[in-house]
Structures are given as C-alpha cells and as structure tokens.
Amino acid sequence: MAHVDFISVLHNKTKRDYLGRVNEYPKAEAAKVAGRFDGEYWDGDRKFGYGGMRYDGRWRPVAEAMARHYGLKAGDRVLDVGCGKGFLLYEFTQVVPGLKVTGLDVSAYAIENAKPEMKPFLQVGHAKSLPFAAKSFDLVVSLNTVHNLYCYDLDAALREIERVGARHKYVCSEAYRNEEEKVNLLYWQLTCRMFCTPEEWAWWFHQTSYTGDHSFIYFT
C-alpha cells in the first residue's frame, strides 16, 4: 500500500470561501438536500452540491497519470466505485483505447444523466456490496466516495474494493491534518460521514485488510 497523489492538483484549482459556504444558507438543510444525491446535488444550486456537473475534460490528466502509473493496456478491466456521471471512465477509454470500464454509483440521477457514451457501462449500486466476482478488475478506483459512508458501510466498502480488485486499487478520501483543516472541511462538506485524519484512515485500511494505494484531499 502506497500514498500516490493523482487528485490534489485538480482539487486545489478550486477557490473556496468557507465562511461564505456555511453562512449563505442553513447548512443542515443544504446537507439534507445534498444527501439525496439527486438532481439538486449534481445540477442544482452550488450550495447543494456541484452546482452543475458538466463534462469539461478536467479528468483527462488524472486518467493519463493513473494509466501510466498502473501500466494499463487494452483489455484491462477498470471499475470506478462512485463513478458519478462517468467522466473519469470516459477519459480512461480515450487515454487507453480498448479498456473495459465499469462504473457504479448510488445515485440513479447520476447514472441516468451520465455522459452518453458511458451509460451502457454504468449501474446503480452501493459500495458496501459490489455486484462483481472476486478479482474481477485490474484496477479499482474510488474517488471522494468512501468518506460519505458511515463507519459500518465504510468497513464493508473497503473490504469489497479489496475483494474485487485483482491487481491495483486506489482510494482517495477527504481528511484533515490540523484544526484549521478540520473546521474548513466541516464548513465545506455536504455529504461527509467519516471525518478522519490520515492516521485514522491508515487504521481503517489496516482494519479492513485494504492493500491498495491511497491519497487524501485537504481543505486548506
């Protein structure tokens, strides 16, 4: 298991007004709306989620870096747990033609409104119970998803990711290293359930026998 950072460069491009976020609208109400993972979360007002998730190519460098790092080639099988609208999977297919991609997300809205080319390869499901055979995929990725689970579902999800991954696994989650980052995370997040330090995440990886790679995003 190694720390490999593919995501923070993309994450850090967004400028965040933490106080504005927590003061603009009752945060508990915004979190309730976001937690439905429906159209308001993906394509509604920014205070409820993404504020409109549209394809813009930003995930191409991430797919390129992952494909290079893990040596992906035509015929390899890639699973994205928490795939959203399938943008990362689409980029994988462009970076490595011939990849066999599969995506799973808890949001029926995201799957129904996914990038059209990806819809045949996406399905609704939960990370705690992946409907795939053991060692089905050469790479399993899960970006900014597992921190949305309560501890009992997180335990199951990490074990499931480990189970279905034949070669490589990569998980990216939110975390905090100090009190400032913890407060910023609390102010900004809408759907986070696991508020952990890197050390606590390491405990979870050990607890669930997760052997894949990982990284964290911080709200600085």
User: Count of CB atoms within 10 A of residue 12's CB?
Assistant: 12
Exposure of 170 by Cβ count < 10 A (0-12 exposed, 13-18 middle, 19+ buried)? buried
Complete domains list, the chain, with CATH: 8-17+25-181+188-217 (3.40.50.150)
Instruction: Lay out the sheet containing 100-105: strands in order across.
Output: 122-124, 100-105, 77-81, 137-143, 165-174, 213-217
The DSSP secondary-structure symbol of 59 reads T
Cα gap 88→32, rounded to integer Å: 27
The pTM score is 0.97
Tell me the two tokens of residue 177.
Answer: 């290293």
Amino acid 132: pLDDT: 98
Q: What is the pLDDT of residue 1?
A: 82
Q: Report mean pLDDT in 10-residue bins for the chain, 220 residues.
A: 94 94 95 98 97 96 98 98 98 98 98 98 98 98 98 98 98 98 97 98 98 98
Q: How many Cα atoms occupy the beta-carbon half-sphere of 72 within 13 Å?
A: 30
